[in-house]
Structure 1
Amino acid sequence: MSELLSDGSPLANIMDIAAMVCLVLAALLSVAAGIGLLRFPDALSRLHAATKPQVFGLLLTIAAVALDERSLATLAALVPVFVFQCLTAPIAAHMVGRAAYRAGQVDEATMVIDELGPAIERSESLYR
C-alpha cells in the first residue's frame, strides 16, 4: 500500500490534484463570501454570505490538508476543528443576527416573516 501512495505514483498524483481542486474551490467560496459581504444590502444578508460558504470552505480546506498529508493522525487532528466550527458558527451567526435585529440594522422590506419581533415584544412586556 505504501508504494501506491509514494511520490510519483498515479494514486499520489490523483490525491495531489484532488487536494489542489479542494483548495481552489475553498478559495472561490472565500471570494464569493467577500463579494457577498460587499454587495448585500443589510446585516442579515451579509451574515448569510459570511457563514454559509465558511463551513463548506473549511471542509474543503481540511480535505485538501488530509489528502496532502495522507496521515490518519493529521485527519484525527483536523476532525475536531471541523466539528467545533460546525457547532459554533451557527450559534455565533444566530447571536449576531439577533443583535443586528435589535440594533435596527435589518432591512424589514426584504423580510418575508418576522418571528423575532413578537418574541422581543413579549419579553420586554414581561420586564416592564
Structure 2
Amino acid sequence: MNAGDVVTAVLLPAGAVFSALGALGALRFPDLLTRLHAATKPQTIGLLLILAGVAPQTGSVSAATPLILVAFFQLLTAPVTAQTIAGAAYRAGVIDRTTLTVDDTDQGT
C-alpha cells in the first residue's frame, strides 16, 4: 500500500460522510436558509474531499486536470446559486425576517 492509497482511503470516506451529513441536514433542517447552508457547504467540502481522494489514483497530472476543473466550478457555482435562491426567497417574503440575526438588505424592519 503506497501513500496515494492511504490518502485515498482517508479522503474518500471523509468526503462521503460530509456529503451524507449535508444531505441529512437538507432533509432535516427547518427552514430554507439552513437547508441552503446544508446543501452547499458540507456538500462542497464533501465533493472536494472526494476529488482530492481520487486525484492520487489517476496517475498523472493530465488525468487529474478534469478533477481540478470540477472543483473550480463547484466552488464557483454552489455559493452563487445559494445566494441567488436565498435572495429571491427573501424578496418574495418566504423567509421569516425575525429569525435573522443580521439583515444587511435595508429592507424589512
TM-score in terms of structure 1 length? 0.75
Instruction: For residue 117 of structure 1, report the CA deviation from its aligned partner.
Output: 5.0
Equivalent position SS for 1:116: coil
Q: Distance in 1 between matches of 2:15 and 2:95?
A: 29
Gaps of 5+ in 2: none
What is the alpha-carbon root mean square deviation over aligned residues? 1.8
- The within-5 A match list for 1:39-50 is 39-50=28-39
Higher Cα Rg, which structure: 1
Question: Relative contact order: is structure 1 or structure 2 higher (C-alpha 8 Å, sep ≥ 6)?
Answer: 2
| Preserved CA contact (<8 Å) 2:19 2:47 | no
| Preserved CA contact (<8 Å) 2:36 2:82 | yes
Identity, in percent, stands at: 44
- Runs of 4+ with deviation above 3 angstroms: none
User: Paired residue for 2:93?
Assistant: 104
- The within-5 A match list for 1:1-128 is 10=1, 12=2, 14-118=3-107
Equivalent position SS for 1:80: helix
| Preserved CA contact (<8 Å) 1:37 1:50 | yes
| Preserved CA contact (<8 Å) 1:44 1:97 | yes
Could you list the per-position Cα deviations for residues 39-85 of structure 1 after superposition, in whole angstroms to 9, with x for gaps in the alignment? 21110111011100122112111111111222111222211111121
Aligned residues: 108
Instruction: For residue 25 of structure 1, report the CA deviation from its aligned partner.
Output: 0.7
| Preserved CA contact (<8 Å) 2:33 2:86 | yes
Q: Distance in 1 between matches of 2:61 and 2:106?
A: 48
